[in-house]
Amino acid sequence: MAPHTDIATRALIVTLKAGVQDKPMTTKDLICLTGLPKSTINNIYARAIEQGFDPAKRPIKLLDKYLEDASRSGRPSKNTEENRQLILNKVHLDHYRQEKTCAQLAGNLSQLGIKISRQTISKILKRMGFKKTKPTQKPSLTQKMRKEHLTWCLIHKD
């Protein structure tokens, strides 16, 4: 089925080609109406019939399962809600104590048995609105500075 056609257009094609008031619309008319090529229209209709749509049955029952895309092959995504939540928890857990790189987060997750790459973690964090930043570091106060600060405060307390 054509992946670039939305489900509403597919429903329109299947319904009109099945026939409104027992008068099916021709493929040529559907090409003019939708602007889709002939092969796409025929593929959408054939796929709906293959999935269980019966054009002869009245009243017409058009279910989502007749129109949906088939599942695609390929590697499952690591960008799942569960993994996003784990990464977010790791980032928030050490927010004020220690900043971690994506490689360190990947190492921590691999200890939990979740194999996820540094690049994937980086992409997930970027989609969640996080940006690469370096923490600002304030120079620590020396003993002399502390003494001067205390002296100034004691002088100006009233």
In this structure, the dihedral spanned by the alpha carbons of residues 93, 115, 126 and 108, taken in order and rounded to 10 degrees, is 30
Which DSSP letter does residue 151 get? H
Domain boundary among 40, 67, 94: 67
pLDDT in tens, 12-31: 999 899 887 778 889 999 99
Parent domain of 45: 7-67
Domain count, the chain: 2
Predicted confidence band of residue 149 (pLDDT cuts 50, 70, 90): very high
The pTM (predicted TM-score) of the whole model is 0.47
Asked if residue 154 is part of any domain, the answer here is no
Nearest to 64 by CA among 2, 146, 7: 7
Cα-flanking dihedrals φ and ψ of residue 132, to 5°?
-75, 120
Q: For residue 1, is pLDDT > 60?
A: no
Q: What is the pLDDT of residues 28-83, one digit of tens each?
A: 999 998 999 999 999 999 999 999 898 888 888 888 888 888 777 888 888 889 98
Alpha carbons 22 and 33: distance in angstroms, whole number = 19
Mean pLDDT (whole number) for 113-137: 86
Q: What is the pLDDT of residue 112?
A: 85
Q: How confident is the model at residue 137 (pLDDT cuts 50, 70, 90)?
A: confident
Establish if 38 belongs to a structural domain.
Answer: yes
Same domain, 122 and 100: yes
pLDDT at residue number 135 = 67
Question: Which of 22, 28, 25 has its CA nearest to residue 12?
Answer: 25
State yes or no: pLDDT of 3 exceeds 80: no
* pLDDT the model gives residue 153: 93
Is residue 52 domain-resident? yes
85 and 62 share one domain = no
